[in-house]
Amino acid sequence: MKKVICSAAVVAVMSLMATSCNKQAPKVDEKPAATAAANTEMKIAFIEVDSIMSQYKFCKEYSAILEKKGQNIQNTIASKGRSLQNAVAKFQQDIQNNKYTQQQAEAVQAGLQKQDADLRELQQRLGTEFQAETDKFNKALRDSIQHYLAVYNKDKKYSLILSKAGDNILYADKAYDITDEVISGLNKAYKPAKTEKKK
């Protein structure tokens, strides 16, 4: 989840670096003072990604939903896996006790192999569904933040708003930190999904 937001910051930082690195050295007849004046007009701010993840209501609610779904998937797979292991152990014990004819043993073994294949298929399907749900959440999270920042920035007029996660920004003056302000605005704008109340 964090990778989605962090990648946007990396792209923004890299494009900023590319812009500054591609500038040629000033020629003799150019006025460096004019360039310096233009650069001072650039307004930059940053947002702490960890704070967004832990304090934005949308993020907290959907993270809890995804965590519950992930746990349910793990429980389902683990339960079916234990049942299969028990069936295999019983089959091996019955083989040792000569409870099956060769034909019966082959039939039971084929059934166990099918159960194993079905379990793998279920695990693959549930994993794919969970990944799709996670991707959908990440996109919705990114879209909600970008939409809010577009509205927020109409008044603030920042040239660049970076996301700070871990060490992707080595130093940032706290004066440029707009995290709390943005989280407050995001939470005010967030409309949770309506849950039907039983009468």
3-state DSSP assignment of residue 193 = coil
Distance CA 122, CA 35 (A): 61
- Contact status, residue 58 vs residue 190, Cβ threshold 8 Å: yes
In this prediction the pTM is: 0.68
Residue type, position 139, single letter: K
Q: What is the pLDDT tens value at each position of the chain, 199 positions in all?
A: 444 333 333 333 333 333 333 344 444 444 445 544 555 678 999 999 999 999 999 999 999 999 999 999 999 999 999 999 999 999 999 999 999 999 999 999 999 999 999 999 999 999 999 999 999 999 999 999 999 999 999 999 999 999 999 889 899 899 999 999 999 999 999 988 765 444 4
- Contact status, residue 168 vs residue 12, Cβ threshold 8 Å: no
3-state DSSP assignment of residue 29 = coil
- Contact status, residue 187 vs residue 52, Cβ threshold 8 Å: no
Q: Report pLDDT for 86.
A: 96
DSSP sequence for 87-130 = HHHHHHHHHHTT-S-HHHHHHHHHHHHHHHHHHHHHHHHHHHHH
Task: Look at the block and give the residue holding tokens 């990396």.
Answer: 10
Distance CA 49, CA 111 (A): 50
Distance CA 178, CA 173 (A): 11
Residues whose CB is less than 8 angstroms from the CB of residue 9 and which lie 6 or more positions away in sequence, other chains included: 49, 162, 163, 164, 165, 168, 169
